[in-house]
Structure 1
Amino acid sequence: MILMTALTETAEKIKNMEIRGAGKIARSAAEAMKEEALSIKTKDIKEFNRRMEDAYNILYSTRPTAVSLPNALRAVMRYKADTVEDAKTAIAANADAFISGSENAVKKIGEIGAHRIKDGDTIMTHCNSSAAFAIFETAYRQGKDINVIATETRPRQQGYVTVDFLQKSGIPTTLILDSAVRYTMKKVDLVIVGADAVTVNGSLVNKVGTSQVALAANEARVGFVCAAETYKFSPRTLFGEMVEIEERDPTEVLCNELRAKWPNLKISNPAFDITPHKYIDMIITEIGAISPEMAYWVIKDKLGWELEEAAEASMRGCDDEN
């Protein structure tokens, strides 16, 4: 096995959720790929390519649901070179372009999304999203009097990360239990959440509990908005592939001591769920605010370069099964 210390450290941090949020995961992976490329000493282009494929696979396997991760990796790996030096240059440029584009996308989403927030609004959010936070921060800096209600987001308490960002920005914030969403929804004017993936029909894959927030919002006639960079849209769903829902370690839910006390107890710990597009009023991207039904267009036109790769990957999967 090839030792890749810096890269495997990043992979572990992504897997263990020290690095959280789909956008941050994608940017961290792109940076790790760049660092790995620049650290490889070989002059043999075939050996270099193999090492980069190994690096790709290590990072790819860390979080199967966050579509931003494979999209970032594919963006970095889109290079053709006859020499190692040319390959390194291309990979570094691809990584820098992806990271810069991602950061600019978040800023643009903040600007577009802030238009949807009115002075005096109370907004609910779930989990932790840099894109959603950009909207809150932009609206607040515009002088709008807003309040944000953040869920704890158990079992990993990503809501605490959201609260930390909001408090440091001076934004009035209320932290609630996940189970208090329906009770609290009567105080809410708008729900804004991030995304780990958006499927071809505009459905949202996000932190488990998001679909329940959407249902409560729909019942209360509160608008439900998703903030998502276009690289979180999943090209492979166009070819019928399902987004894999990650099942995480049971110890996140119940400590080993209690598990030993109840040895026959089964624990399910899905990290994500799917919110049907019919419960989503709008998806705010860096290219504009769109309806969920426009997800197909984003995948086909905005992510057109990925469709060929997605089709090839899908065909490879079929070949493997036959």
Structure 2
Amino acid sequence: MTILTETAEKIKNMEIRGAGRIARAAALALKEEATSIDTDDIGEFNRRMNDAYETLYNTRPTAVSLPNALRLVMRYRAATVEDARKAIISNADNFISNSQNAVKKIGQIGAKRIKDGDTILTHCNSSAAAAIVEAAFKQGKNINVIATETRPRQQGYVTVDIMQKIGVPTTLILDSAVRYFMKDVDIVVVGADAITVNGSLINKVGTSQIALAAHEARVNLIVAAETYKFSPKTLLGDLVEIEERDPSEVLSPEMHIKWPGLIVRNPAFDVTPHQYIDLIITELGAIPPEMAFWVITEKLGLELEDSATNIK
């Protein structure tokens, strides 16, 4: 199994989780594929890189960080294979480095929104959201985290593991207990799989219910999102596809046999309207959701949709 196919399989099966980690893994896989292709024919090289792009692109339909990363890595024009290879390697290295630096900046900026004594509610797992908590904790702030299990794949356990290693006092709760515990929460911090042009958030299913509970309790919700998680396609009217995963994640094969007529729906994400979001923390700074249009047009640019010049 090649690095490309192994990475694609891990992304599809959620061995690699989190929009940022998915994007960085995909960029690295394209880099490795470019390095391994043995041909002097630029046409053949472009075709094989395009196949690699498609393989990775089709793994997870919702996380916009994945296609954005792939397009940025594939942004090259070259007459020779050697020049194309160098460009892809450089693009991938730059993307990975910028992504990692973005997470650090988000942590530093977002930590300013955390006060000493705060209890922070998180959902799912996000490296950017975790960076905010870690930065606040390292500043000496006395904070606590409440983490949801995030069923059915228990991504909340990943968050708990990170918090335990850092040393942040953490409580694990059922997803369905969020409203019960909201009275103990000072601020909600979540990550993002995609941000639309109107500032709405696509994130792990259950996020919208948390946002509603936070709004009812007058608790601010902030989103940690690198700018490459904003979706240029939504500016052109496209909707972000909500991935539905295999029912076997929810119900065992034995239960399917017992209830053969049962329909199981397993959406991986939901949409939180921008009205329920206080701020989006990006590497550029803290912005209101309404500034998503500015991020897409001024910082990403519509050309991102066509930037991968060799994608057919």
Normalised by the length of structure 1, the TM-score is 0.95
1:86 corresponds to 2:83: yes
Aligned ranges for residues 272-287 of structure 1 at < 5 Å?
Answer: 272-287=269-284
Distance (whole Å) between structure 1 residues aligned to residue 147 and residue 218 of structure 2: 19
Unaligned runs of 5+ in 1: 317-322
1:60 corresponds to 2:87: no
The counterpart of 2:110, out of the listed 103, 107, 113, is 113
Aligned ranges for residues 9-28 of structure 1 at < 5 Å?
Answer: 9-28=6-25
- Give the paired residue count: 309
| Structure 1 equivalent of residue 286 of structure 2 | 289
Residue 308 of structure 1, CA deviation: 5.4
Q: Is the Cα–Cα contact under 8 Å of residues 195 and 206 in structure 1 kept in the other structure?
A: yes
Q: Is the Cα–Cα contact under 8 Å of residues 232 and 305 in structure 2 kept in the other structure?
A: no
CA RMSD, Structure 1 to Structure 2 (Å) = 1.2
| Structure 2 equivalent of residue 320 of structure 1 | none
Distance (whole Å) between structure 2 residues aligned to residue 306 and residue 64 of structure 1: 20
Q: Is the Cα–Cα contact under 8 Å of residues 246 and 272 in structure 1 kept in the other structure?
A: yes
Distance (whole Å) between structure 2 residues aligned to residue 229 and residue 138 of structure 1: 16
The counterpart of 2:236, out of the listed 234, 239, 244, is 239
Distance (whole Å) between structure 2 residues aligned to residue 81 and residue 165 of structure 1: 42
Runs of 4+ in 1 over 6 A off after TM superposition: none
Residue 253 of structure 1, CA deviation: 0.2
The counterpart of 1:99, out of the listed 96, 101, 112, is 96
Identical columns (%): 76
Residue 5 of structure 1, CA deviation: 1.7
Distance (whole Å) between structure 1 residues aligned to residue 201 and residue 301 of structure 2: 20
Aligned ranges for residues 108-257 of structure 1 at < 5 Å?
Answer: 108-257=105-254
Distance (whole Å) between structure 2 residues aligned to residue 176 and residue 239 of structure 1: 39
| Structure 1 equivalent of residue 295 of structure 2 | 298
The counterpart of 2:268, out of the listed 249, 254, 271, is 271
Distance (whole Å) between structure 2 residues aligned to residue 306 and residue 38 of structure 1: 26
Normalised by the length of structure 2, the TM-score is 0.98
Q: Is the Cα–Cα contact under 8 Å of residues 300 and 307 in structure 1 kept in the other structure?
A: no
Distance (whole Å) between structure 1 residues aligned to residue 218 and residue 248 of structure 2: 37
| Structure 2 equivalent of residue 46 of structure 1 | 43
Distance (whole Å) between structure 2 residues aligned to residue 303 and residue 309 of structure 1: 12
Distance (whole Å) between structure 2 residues aligned to residue 33 and residue 308 of structure 1: 18
1:77 corresponds to 2:74: yes
Residue 6 of structure 1, CA deviation: 1.3
Distance (whole Å) between structure 1 residues aligned to residue 20 and residue 224 of structure 2: 11
Task: Note the alpha carbon deviations across 1:24-50, whole angstroms, 9 max, x for none.
Answer: 000000000000000000110000000
Q: Is the Cα–Cα contact under 8 Å of residues 236 and 307 in structure 1 kept in the other structure?
A: no
Distance (whole Å) between structure 2 residues aligned to residue 288 and residue 137 of structure 1: 18
Residue 306 of structure 1, CA deviation: 3.4
- Compare relative contact order (CA 8 Å, sep 6+) and give the higher one, 1 or 2: 2
The aligned amino acid for 1:266 is I
Q: Is the Cα–Cα contact under 8 Å of residues 226 and 284 in structure 1 kept in the other structure?
A: yes
